[in-house]
Amino acid sequence: KKMGWKGILGFDYGVVQAPLGPDISGPELAAAVANAGAIGLLRLPDWPAPDHVRELIRRTRSLTEKPFGAAIVLAFPHEENLRVVLEEKLAVLQVYWGEFPKERVDEAHRAGVKVLHQVGNLEEAAKAKEAGVDGIIVQGREAGGHVIGQEGLLPLLPRVVDLVSDSTVSVIAAGGIVDGRGYAAALALGAHGVCLGTRFVATEESFAHPLYKKKLIEMNCTDYTTVFGRARWPGAPQRVLKTPFYVEWKNLPDHETEENQPIIGHSIIHGVVCI
């Protein structure tokens, strides 16, 4: 049964699939979410790759006739990828980790693209509201991956709801929400929808490694750390599974980063070999 009254931004449901960097949310996942009536987001590369971005969008369109979006990390080079998103007139652009002022939001709106800005504190939310975004994703420190804010979701969410109460901005809750109970709690605090990340990592359509999906389901302990990505993601703690590798490395001295540690392997991300 469709609950249209819970939809946001013209979609059937108030559910947003988080971008799941660096490439876990590809065309298959974004299309599956879109086909279900929620907001599916492609995670775009953290480097200029306009041709690849256009191919990702077209592959997604071959899998769904429903609207979908793409996500960009503003802290990394993104102008060329952003241009493709606007040229292709996607339904939604999600941005985070940086400023996205009113002139950029207006540019997206002229292309018919709605803007979601993910924030981690009240000050960032106020800037996003001033910029005229269509929705604000409020991320609490309960979230997985590199967490944009240090505040818990439940104290922060109602403050953002109050901040935008005189506007049409949709407020979307993110961080530790995995089921209907979390959705209901977010709605009770005034949110219009929820954004789920880890829950979508474990789906068949995500590009995550099968063993990682299995561990996500089996394990129930996480930790909040700066061990991973200190040089690339400064000041960005990460919520991680308590794996044997993490337990061994969690006390790595602060001055040690991925730039001065031995390389133990490589990954292929968006077709590019990365350390």
pLDDT at 275: 61
Residue 2 lies in a domain: no
Domain encompassing residue 237:
219-274
Give me the amino acid identity at 219: M
pLDDT at 191: 97
Same domain, 176 and 203: yes
Same domain, 54 and 111: yes
Cα-Cα end-to-end distance for the chain:
45
Could you tell me which residues come within 8 angstroms of residue 105 by beta carbon, excluding any fewer than 6 positions away?
115, 131, 132, 133
Same domain, 124 and 227: no
Could you tell me which residues come within 8 angstroms of residue 28 by beta carbon, excluding any fewer than 6 positions away?
63, 205, 207
**CA-based R_g, the chain, Å:** 18
Over the chain (275 residues), what is each successive 10-residue block's mean pLDDT? Answer: 64 96 93 98 96 98 98 96 98 96 98 98 98 98 89 97 97 95 96 96 95 91 87 84 89 84 79 71
Same domain, 88 and 145: yes
Give me the amino acid identity at 220: N
Q: What is the C-alpha separation between 203 and 88, in angstroms, rounded?
A: 27
pLDDT at 175: 96
Same domain, 133 and 269: no
Alpha-helix residue ranges (DSSP H) falling in the chain: 27-35, 50-61, 79-87, 102-110, 122-131, 153-163, 180-188, 198-201, 210-218, 244-249
pLDDT at 267: 83
Q: Between the CA atoms of 93, 98, 104 and 110, what dihedral angle is there, to the nearest 10 degrees? A: 10
Same domain, 206 and 245: no
> Which residue, among 151, 123, 127, has the nearest Cα to 139 in the 3D structure?
151
Residue 7 lies in a domain: no
Which of 193, 211, 229 marks a domain boundary?
A: 211
Same domain, 83 and 204: yes
pLDDT at 106: 98
Same domain, 175 and 65: yes
Residue 1 lies in a domain: no
Displacement of CA 180 from its chain's centroid (Å):
20
Q: What is the C-alpha separation between 122 and 159, in angstroms, rounded?
A: 7
Same domain, 172 and 51: yes
**Is the alpha carbon torsion for 84, 116, 91, 73 positive or negative?**
positive
Residue entry with tokens 């999906």: 213
Same domain, 240 and 142: no
pLDDT at 4: 39
Same domain, 200 and 227: no
Residue 155 lies in a domain: yes
> Which residue, among 210, 198, 219, 179, has the nearest Cα to 19 in the 3D structure?
198
**Is the alpha carbon torsion for 45, 151, 99, 164 positive or negative?**
positive
Structural domain tally of the chain? 2
What is the DSSP annotation of 81-108? HHHHHHHTT-SEEEEESS---HHHHHHH
Residue 68 lies in a domain: yes
pLDDT at 6: 66
Same domain, 84 and 183: yes
